[in-house]
């Protein structure tokens, strides 16, 4: 499986539009992590297992297979690829201040729920 960040950092897609989309993705994910949803909230980390939200960033409240424990790990992997690019290109502050909190939340979720089926 290849993430868009893999394509971006490999040099195949270093155009401005792709980087803008990666930054927009990070901003949305930071907001979604704070949305209280049927899986829980960021307060105890359980809300990070929610896989479905409405386009307007509101929680999807209908029946759905939840929680889905793979999302935080996949998001962290994708974001770490982009963080490597940011650091390599002199944007360590952005990596630390914007990206790391998102990744840190996801890694905490993975550590907390890795053993749960």
Per-residue pLDDT of 9-29, as tens digits, reads 666 555 677 888 888 999 999
Interval 44-63: pLDDT, tens: 999 999 989 999 999 999 99
Percent of the chain with pLDDT over 70: 85
Per-residue pLDDT, 115: 82
First to last CA, the chain: 23
Mean pLDDT of 76-100: 92
| Tokens found for residue 92 | 């360590």
Report yes or no: 85 and 5 within 8 Å, Cβ to Cβ: yes
Instruction: Name the average pLDDT for the chain.
Output: 88
3-state class of 94 per DSSP? Answer: helix
């Amino acid at each position: 499986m290849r993430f868009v960040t893999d394509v971006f950092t490999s040099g195949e897609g270093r155009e401005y539009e792709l980087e803008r989309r990666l930054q927009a993705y990070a901003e949305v994910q930071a907001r979604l992590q704070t949305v209280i949803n049927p899986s829980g909230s960021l307060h105890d980390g359980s809300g990070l297992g929610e896989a479905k939200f409405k386009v307007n960033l509101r929680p999807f409240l209908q029946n759905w297979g939840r929680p889905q424990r793979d999302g935080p790990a996949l998001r962290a992997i994708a974001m770490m690829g982009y963080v490597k690019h940011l650091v390599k290109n002199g944007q360590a502050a952005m990596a630390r201040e914007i990206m790391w909190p998102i990744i840190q939340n996801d890694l905490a979720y993975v550590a907390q729920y890795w053993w749960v089926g």
